[in-house]
Amino acid sequence: MASCSKEQNEEVNDEETVEIPIVVYLVDGEMALSQSYSTHLEKVFDYTKIPYANISISDFNSDDYISDETRVIYINNTEPLSQSAKQSLLEFVSLGGTLVFPSLNEDQKAGFLSGIKPTAEYSYDLQAKGIHFERNVLPGLEGKEIYPLKTNIGLKKDAFIESINVLATSITDREMPVIFEHSIGNGKVIHFNTFIEFEKVDRGLLFAPALKGLQGVPFPVANVSTIMIDDFPNPVYDIDAEPIKSEFGLSQAQFVMERWWPDMLKVADKFDLTYTAFPCFNYNTIRQPPFIFTEWDKHKSVINNESVISSEWLVEQVMENEFELGFHGYNHEPLIDTIWNSNTEYIEGALRSARKIWWISRFGPMPKSYVPPSNEIDSVGLKHLANAMPEMEFMSSLYDGELMEGANREFDVDPFEPRFFDFPRISSGYTYNDFKLYNLESLYLFTGIWSHFIHPDDIYQIPDADITTAGDFALRNANRLGWHQSTNGRKGMLEEWNDYLQHMIDLHQSIRFMKVYDGASITRNWRESDYEYVANGDAFDVRKRSTNSWVDENYFWNMFVEKSNEPSLLNELDRMKATYTRTSFFGGTLLTINTPEPELKFSDDVELKGGSSYDLIEIYTKVKNAYDQYAIDRDRTLENVQSSSDAIVVAVPEPVVTDSVAWYVANENLKAATDMLKARLETQFELDTVSFDKYALYLAYQERPNEVWDFFEYIYWEVSEGLSLDYVSYYLTKESYPSVELNELWLRRQIEANPGNISLVKEYLRYFYSQEYLSYLDGILFDLMENNDSEESYALYIKYLIDFHPESVIEELKEKNPAQYPALHPMATTITYAFSDAGMKQKALAWAEFSDAIPLRTVLQWWVDLEAYNKMESVYLEYIRAHPLDYELMGYVSNIWYDIGEFEKASLIANKLPEADRIKTRYKGRFNPDVRFFESDVQKFLIAKTPTVFNPDTLKAIMSGLRYYENNSIQYNTDYVVDNFKQSVWNNSMTYNMRTESLNMHSLSVTYTDVSDLNLNAFDINNVPHTLFGLKYRYQTRENTAKPIFYALGGLEQDDVSNTFFTFGAGLSHSNERSFKSVGYTFSPVKTGPAISREIYWGQLIGYYETGYAKTFQTSFSPVLSHYTTGALEGSLTGKLFYNAKKGTGSRFSPFAEAFVSGSNDNQPDGNPFWIIDSRFYGGGGLAWTYGRDQSRKLYARLEAGAFYDTYTDNFLRFTGNFSFPVKKFTYITGQFEFFNQALYYSNGFKFGIKHYFRRRKQYAYKPREYEEWYD
């Protein structure tokens, strides 16, 4: 940007260091707004480091030269400028500069600059209020609104040409431009058509237009975001308070420890946050010794079966999660001289007491960050804080507010105590609104800082007469939100907090959350750094030139770029290997850039698109001609207006009486005229509109219009209330209330005069329905109820209770039939939730009938909560028949049924969901791991009726399991046993097993047994071998862990000499996850040669108990009672203890110990006709090796080796084992062996078997369900 002469006659060095300002404010010393705005912007550019200067208008009139490097000029009003200075501004804009009017420019001869028509009347809109952002004038602000009660006092919308680019409008009149952009030549003018007085929090809004002219000019930002938790950890109390009492039934202590803190940890994990907690040790008002800690130590909690001090446990939680501990105070008394009654030496005593408990309790290093209680502290308090806590570096009060009370801080060294650097907070709370976002974005734009704070008890600060913790500040939960859910149809505070954080992260993708100490340290380094700007073509190179100690791996910059230039600038950043994120802003993009070094250097002579294809002289000539024509047109307009005004003359004036109102007016003594009219009106008792109109008009001429309200007040108190209200009503037909306060006062007085007038009451509620006017609302609505018994008045009353006394809604409506109160039906949603939160689900359901906003899933859940499952089912079925494609609800109900164990109903619903639907996918993910363990009848039902909910591998596994447990099978078994008497027994059987529909099993076996003779020292005629053939039948009930399994058996065998033998037996067994136990009895022939010859039988009663097979120690006991038909009796007991050092299904070793004891009434050590001895004991141990799991249908093997002391044989070794493995999927081999090395008696043997499970030819049967057809 250069003047024509400069462009033509001088060569500019683009690498020259810029010592002159890039941004200039032309300050009008006679205009308070200009002085205020220039001061604020001077601070903004001090933050951004962009060269900036305030130049007085008088100096600019003396020397109106504008440097080539100046990109942006601010000015409020061009009227004080000389003609030459105005021409200089026109040239500046036309050649590419940006001119900003931060308030309405009232110079009627300079309307060309602002896109004002030359024929404009310059009439003001005195009604339009607030600012509605049509574009992202600040990031994320499009569609948001601020200052709804502030009047703009700008030019009416018809004053402007159509080509202006409107960026913001009035809230109340969306056609009226409040902020707009007007292009002139290569440059632009940004105009604020408002006299709203902007303050510190609006700095970003004032700064934003400058960025339009600072394209390609990066500026450093801190990029620091902190979340501070004030008053945490703190003393907690067993106090029940709303809304947590109704929502959870928890005390304040329980809520903080059991709900709030775990939820805050989840939020931190979700958004990668780190917190800085600021503990306060007491909430007493102690300001003199002794400084005790009764409240801090008082509350105890049981954590992991251990009693702990609740507050200290919370501190430990902060430390364990690696968050930061700051300091909030010994108690919550602000460190202010007057509060401590000038006993300021006690301040340090209190602080040192806090230091002591910090050290004794081992809270870690002394804190370095301080938040003043209630954000209030004075210079005296700051001094004592620095003395008592020398480690403290940072003070975090408020960015806005009163400086002398501890607020209104900058990100700078504290103005009262240089030992502290201020890191103020800009926002607070878990919820956000338009103004909160505006407030923080206004600061974030030029600093990159978001400093935010919350409290654990914010949830409790609801509108309630008993709530006093807010003090002089706004309630932190004015909307009565719940934590997880709210009764007023809004989200819970926790969900609002998640939304708040997600909004910030989505909008500012480079955002960094950090501890206060880290963030404040970076901020301090950033503020202490100085930067050098070097012109480089259309851009500027920037580097840090100060020698302070700031060394970092990440430096951040903001830079604006128009959409047309974004590709080329992004290529530049890629060339520099800088990373960046993008945010929509002011019609272009705000780049946040990250570099490893504190500099940004572009390629030489960067060129940016924009402007015109004409050369600069042609551009300026065109603009100058247009400007001159505008001046001619404007002069003509003003002349016409003057002529019209002169033409309106009274030809023959009426005679004027001396000292009359007319005389005073004619002599321009309006003060005397209004005084006379006022005196006349104050003595009348009837409405005199003629005199009043003159009185109001002449007050307006004197710019004293608001004095009419003093007149109304006098009439109200001294003459007649009714007359004053008549005057006010008449006045309001032409004018409006000048302030909110007067609006409220006189509307309330009208209601007091006519308390049953529902229209007046509704008007009052429209404007003043808030906590601020609660004391008036009580009386207004009570009087309305007394004087108007309509349904509408009762509805207003109920709405009032809902909004301000929700605890009373339940009591008021609990006996009411909702069908009889149609006027309440629009509030049915809120009433429904109120009853629900109070636990009155039945009443909630009654009111839900009249609400379209209660989700059906919520209604269904309430029926579930009442355990009215049949009702829930009927409501669902009725709805789903009409809405068969509501997959969300189908999935929800499906999960309800699943949760209560109604797996069949759950799957019948899920089966109808589309295969690709995520709900069905989630259901299948839940269902398939579980279905393998369902009852087989349930599995068979589900396979037949709901095949689509099965994964293929799950269905295959279940079908395999059913084949094993429900199909028929055939098996062959053989065993061979030999003892030291040279006798051997060889048993063989072929068995067919048949399952019934009820899963009982019938087994029929063909048997063959070969029994040898004994090797005896003496001849025995009965000692001959035998061969036996037979049939055996066995019955067993279904396998069921819930019930014992019963079996019974019987058989017949015939030997080779045609002797017939019988066998019978029965038994019970039961197993569960912890143990197995069984008892059985069998009566059969003794299988030795002599015993078969003599037809000797024996019976055995065997018991068995085993426990701990899935635990480290596994034990078993087996008592046995045997009897023989020879009269011999024997009893024995075997016990085993295994140590399972390793569990699972892999290879594992288990040491064991075993003991056996027996006794009998006979002694036959030679084994004829069977072996029995009178007594025996052996004991010992060994090692078992196991691989796999028994009955797993996979490879399983177990070997045991043991050594034993024996009273019968002195000692012996024993080796045993068993195994099983599949040869094909449904064919299995089993085996078992036993080997002893003892000399006197042993019984060694081997068993082998093979079993095959048949396929099933017909479909599995299942029990019919009555509800099958309901879900078809």
C-alpha 996/C-alpha 966 separation (Å) is 8
C-alpha 644/C-alpha 442 separation (Å) is 47
With contact defined as beta carbons under 8 Å apart, do 1216 and 1235 qualify? yes
Please check the confidence at residue 817 and state whether its pLDDT lies above 90: yes
pLDDT confidence bin for 295, thresholds 50/70/90: confident
* C-alpha torsion 653→658→660→663, nearest 10: 40
Q: What is the mean pLDDT of residues 227-248?
A: 93
Residue 710 burial (CB < 10 Å; 0-12/13-18/19+)?
exposed
pLDDT digits (tens, 9 = 90+) for 228-237: 999 999 999 9
Please check the confidence at residue 548 and state whether its pLDDT lies above 80: no
CATH 3.20.20.370 for the 224-523 domain, yes or no: yes
Please check the confidence at residue 472 and state whether its pLDDT lies above 50: no
pLDDT digits (tens, 9 = 90+) for 401-412: 999 889 999 999
Q: For residue 96, what pLDDT is reported?
A: 92
With contact defined as beta carbons under 8 Å apart, do 540 and 218 qualify? yes
The residue ranking higher by pLDDT, 1033 or 1264, is: 1033
pLDDT confidence bin for 288, thresholds 50/70/90: confident
The residue ranking higher by pLDDT, 1123 or 1241, is: 1123
3 state SS of 1183: strand
Is 0.75 topped by the overall pTM? no
Q: For residue 118, what pLDDT is reported?
A: 93
C-alpha 630/C-alpha 620 separation (Å) is 15
Q: Is 457 left (phi over 0), alpha (psi -120 to 50) or beta?
A: alpha
* Count of CB atoms situated within 10 Å of the CB of 994: 14
Strand order in the sheet with 394-395: 369-370, 394-395, 421-422
Q: For residue 47, what pLDDT is reported?
A: 97
Q: For residue 223, what pLDDT is reported?
A: 97
The residue ranking higher by pLDDT, 168 or 770, is: 168
Smallest Cα–Cα separation from 936: which of 901, 965, 902? 965
C-alpha 1079/C-alpha 1077 separation (Å) is 7
What backbone torsions phi and psi does residue 1008 show, to the nearest 5 degrees? -140, 130
Query: In the chain, pLDDT over 90 holds for what percent of residues?
Result: 58
Hey, what amino acid is at 758?
I
Smallest Cα–Cα separation from 25: which of 166, 167, 206, 180? 206
Q: For residue 465, what pLDDT is reported?
A: 41
pLDDT confidence bin for 17, thresholds 50/70/90: very low
Q: For residue 435, what pLDDT is reported?
A: 93
Structure tokens at 514: 């950090």
Provide the angle, in degrees to the nearest 10, between the axes of the packed helices 952-966 and 936-945: 130
C-alpha 83/C-alpha 91 separation (Å) is 12
Please check the confidence at residue 461 and state whether its pLDDT lies above 80: yes
pLDDT confidence bin for 1144, thresholds 50/70/90: low
Half-sphere exposure of 15 (CA within 13 A, CB side): 4
With contact defined as beta carbons under 8 Å apart, do 598 and 220 qualify? yes
Q: What is the mean pLDDT of residues 4-30?
A: 62
Structure tokens at 1040: 């069921």
**How far apart, in Å, are the Cα atoms of 584 and each of 142, 144, 464, 509?**
10, 15, 42, 12
Please check the confidence at residue 522 and state whether its pLDDT lies above 60: yes
Q: For residue 1109, what pLDDT is reported?
A: 66
Structure tokens at 448: 């990159």
Please check the confidence at residue 728 and state whether its pLDDT lies above 50: yes
pLDDT confidence bin for 765, thresholds 50/70/90: confident
Please check the confidence at residue 648 and state whether its pLDDT lies above 50: no
pLDDT confidence bin for 651, thresholds 50/70/90: very low
Domain 968-1253, second-level architecture: Beta Barrel (2.40)
The residue ranking higher by pLDDT, 1269 or 382, is: 382
What is 529-600's CATH topology? Alpha-Beta Plaits (3.30.70)
Please check the confidence at residue 613 and state whether its pLDDT lies above 70: no
Structure tokens at 789: 């018994």
Structure tokens at 97: 């500069």
With contact defined as beta carbons under 8 Å apart, do 1098 and 1084 qualify? yes
Name the residue with tokens 């008549």: 726
pLDDT digits (tens, 9 = 90+) for 876-901: 999 999 888 888 889 889 988 988 88
Residue 1061 burial (CB < 10 Å; 0-12/13-18/19+)?
buried
Domain 4-214, second-level architecture: 3-Layer(aba) Sandwich (3.40)
pLDDT digits (tens, 9 = 90+) for 75-108: 999 999 999 999 999 999 999 999 999 999 989 8
Half-sphere exposure of 172 (CA within 13 A, CB side): 14
Hey, what amino acid is at 578?
A
With contact defined as beta carbons under 8 Å apart, do 239 and 256 qualify? no
Hey, what amino acid is at 1076?
F
With contact defined as beta carbons under 8 Å apart, do 113 and 182 qualify? yes
C-alpha 282/C-alpha 517 separation (Å) is 24
Q: What is the mean pLDDT of residues 663-691?
A: 85
How high is the mean pLDDT of the chain? 89
The 10 Å CB-count burial string (b at 16+, else e) for 8-20 is eeeeeebeeebee
pLDDT confidence bin for 612, thresholds 50/70/90: very low
pLDDT confidence bin for 253, thresholds 50/70/90: very high
pLDDT digits (tens, 9 = 90+) for 191-209: 999 999 999 999 999 999 9
Helix (H), strand (E) at residue 976? strand 969-979
With contact defined as beta carbons under 8 Å apart, do 727 and 715 qualify? yes
Residues, the chain: 1272
Name the residue with tokens 């404009």: 120
**How far apart, in Å, are the Cα atoms of 1133 and each of 119, 651, 1136?**
119, 140, 10
C-alpha 377/C-alpha 616 separation (Å) is 57
**How far apart, in Å, are the Cα atoms of 884 and each of 508, 894, 911?**
42, 14, 13
With contact defined as beta carbons under 8 Å apart, do 1068 and 1048 qualify? no
pLDDT digits (tens, 9 = 90+) for 130-179: 999 999 999 999 999 999 989 898 999 999 999 999 999 999 999 999 99
Name the least confident of 265-274, 469-478, 1101-1110, 1115-1124: 469-478
Please check the confidence at residue 679 and state whether its pLDDT lies above 60: yes
Q: For residue 6, what pLDDT is reported?
A: 34
Q: How far is CA 841 from the centre of its chain?
A: 27
Name the residue with tokens 């149809």: 489
DSSP-derived pairing of the beta strands 1227-1236 and 1026-1036: unpaired
Q: How far is CA 451 from the centre of its chain?
A: 19
Q: For residue 1190, what pLDDT is reported?
A: 74
C-alpha 1066/C-alpha 1053 separation (Å) is 18
Q: How far is CA 2 from the centre of its chain?
A: 53
Please check the confidence at residue 1192 and state whether its pLDDT lies above 70: no
Smallest Cα–Cα separation from 449: which of 227, 224, 203? 224
Query: In the chain, pLDDT over 70 holds for what percent of residues?
Result: 94
Q: What is the mean pLDDT of residues 905-910?
A: 92
With contact defined as beta carbons under 8 Å apart, do 907 and 942 qualify? yes
3 state SS of 531: strand
pLDDT confidence bin for 383, thresholds 50/70/90: very high
Smallest Cα–Cα separation from 585: which of 1058, 209, 202? 209
